[in-house]
Structure 1
Amino acid sequence: MTEVAAAFESEVERVTHTLRDEILDGVRAPGSRLVERELAADLGVSRIPVRDALKALVAEGLVTPRPRSWAVVREFTPADVADLNEVRSALEVLTFRLAANRRSRDGLQRLRAVLDEEIEASRRGDVVAARHAAADFHEVVTSIAGNDLLFEIDGLLRSRIRWLLVQHEDTGQVAVEHEALYEAIAQRDIARASTLILAHMGNIRYLDDPTWRDEDPQLSGS
C-alpha cells in the first residue's frame, strides 16, 4: 500500500470511528440525517472518506441508506431489539462458558483492567465512559473465549450489540454483575458463569423502551 493510500485508509477509519461513537453515544439521534457534504465540512475531510464510512456503518447495521448522498441513523424497533436479544442470548451463554473454561492469565488481566475502568467510571458518575467500558467487558470476554468462528460472528454483530449494551441505565448495577461474572470466569466456574450471564441479560433495563423486558420472556426472566 502506498503512503497516500495508507493515509486515505486511516482517514476513512477515523471518520468511521467518529461517526460510530457519535451514534452509539446518542450524539446523533436515531432518524437524524447524515449528509455527505455536511459531514465532510464538520469533520474537515473530503466527501470520499465520508461516503466510505457511511457504507461501513450501513454494513454494521447502524445506518440506513437513502438515495443519492445521504443516510439516516438507524431507528431500532422493538422487533429489531427482540431479534438481537434472541441471537445475543445464545451467543453470550456460549461465550461466557468458553471464557470460563479457557481463560488465561493474560485474558484475566485484560478483563480485570476493563472492569476496573467500568467501576471507576460508574463511581465518578461518568455514564458514557461506564457504558463504553461495560461493552468492552463483553468484547474482552469474547476474545478470551478462544473460538475464532465465534469471534468472527461477534464481529458481524458487534456494532449492533454494542448499541444494545450502551443503552442500559443503571451503570452501578451492571458493574456489580460484571464483577460477579469476572469472578466466575476467574474460578473456571462454568455453571455459575452460565447462570449469571442469563440473569445479567434479564436484569439490564434499557433506556429507549423498558417494556421490551415485559414483551420478551428472555429479558423478563419468565
Structure 2
Amino acid sequence: MSAEPAKKSLRDRAYEELRDRIVDLRLSPGQRLVERDLATELAISRIPLREALQMLEREGLVVIVPRQGAIVAPFTAADVRDLFDVRESLEVLAARLAAERAEPTDLAALRDQLDAARQATAAGDQAAIAAANAGFHARIVEVSGNPLLQSLLRPLESRVRWLFHLTKERDPGTQCAEHEALYAAIAAGDPDAAAEIAYRHVASGREPSLALSAQWSMPDIDPVSATRTRQRTSQRDKTA
C-alpha cells in the first residue's frame, strides 16, 4: 500500500527538478534529455522519470518522440507571441478579480513577492528576479479566487517563468515599478485600474521580448532528428 505514494513522490521530485532546470535555462531549448543519464543523476528508475517527462510535455516544456526520446521544447518567437496573446486576456481578468476579492492576507503575500523582487534587483540576482516577478503574476491568479481561470493559467505558469528567464535583459527596475502600480490598484480595490495596468504591463513586454527571442529562437529544430542521435559519448566509445 505504501509503494504508490513513494512512486508518486519520485515522479514529483523528478518533475520539479527538471522543470526548474528548464525554466532557469540550465537545460537549453532543443537539448536532448537522455533517460538513462537523468535516471542515474536523479537516483530514480525510468518509470517515474518518464511520468515526469510526460507531465512536462503537457506543460509544453518538453517534446517527446515515441520510441526515440525527448528534448527540451524549442521556444520560438511564435511561441512568445502566442503566450502574450493569452496573457493579455487572462492575466488582465485575473488582476480585475484580484482587485475585487483580495483579502489582507492576499495583499501581504503580494507584498512579499514585490519585496523579494526589489531585493533581487538590488543584488543583481537575475535568477531570483525572474522567480520573484513570475511569482507575483502567479500569486495574482491565486488571489483572483476563480478556479476555472486558475486551471487555465496553471499550465502556463512554468512557461511564464521561462519567459522571465529568457528575457532577463529587460530592465528589472521598470518591471518592479509596473508591479508596484498593479499592486496599488489591487490593494485599493479598483478593478478597472488593475485591469488597465495589467494590460499595459503585459503588452509593454511584448515587443522587447519578441526582439530578445531572436537570440535563442529555434524555429527549424526537428525533434525526430534531435532525438535520433545521442548527444554524448558512451563509455564503450571512450574505451574502444
SS at match of 2:213: coil
Q: CA deviation at 1:192?
A: 1.9
The one-letter code sitting in structure 1 at the alignment partner of 2:187 is A
**Residue equivalent to 1:108:** 107
**Residue equivalent to 1:209:** 214
* Structure 1 segment 67-216 matched on structure 2, within 5 A: 67-68=66-67, 70-168=69-167, 169=169, 170-204=171-205, 205-206=208-209, 207-209=212-214
The one-letter code sitting in structure 1 at the alignment partner of 2:213 is D
SS at match of 1:96: helix
Structure 1, unaligned runs of 5 or more: 213-222
SS at match of 1:166: helix
The one-letter code sitting in structure 1 at the alignment partner of 2:54 is K
Q: CA deviation at 1:172?
A: 2.2
Which stretch has the larger CA shift, 171-180 or 16-25?
A: 171-180
8 Å Cα contact 1:135/1:166 also seen in 2: no
TM-score norm. by structure 1 comes to 0.89
* Structure 1 segment 7-86 matched on structure 2, within 5 A: 7-68=6-67, 70-86=69-85
8 Å Cα contact 1:88/1:161 also seen in 2: no
Q: CA deviation at 1:202?
A: 2.7
The one-letter code sitting in structure 1 at the alignment partner of 2:186 is I
Structure 2, unaligned runs of 5 or more: 218-240
Percent identity, please.
43
Higher relative contact order by CA 8 Å / sep ≥ 6: 1 or 2?
2
Deviating 4+ runs (over 3 angstroms): none
Distance 1:69 1:51 in 2: 12
8 Å Cα contact 2:59/2:158 also seen in 1: yes
- Paired positions, count: 210
The one-letter code sitting in structure 1 at the alignment partner of 2:15 is T
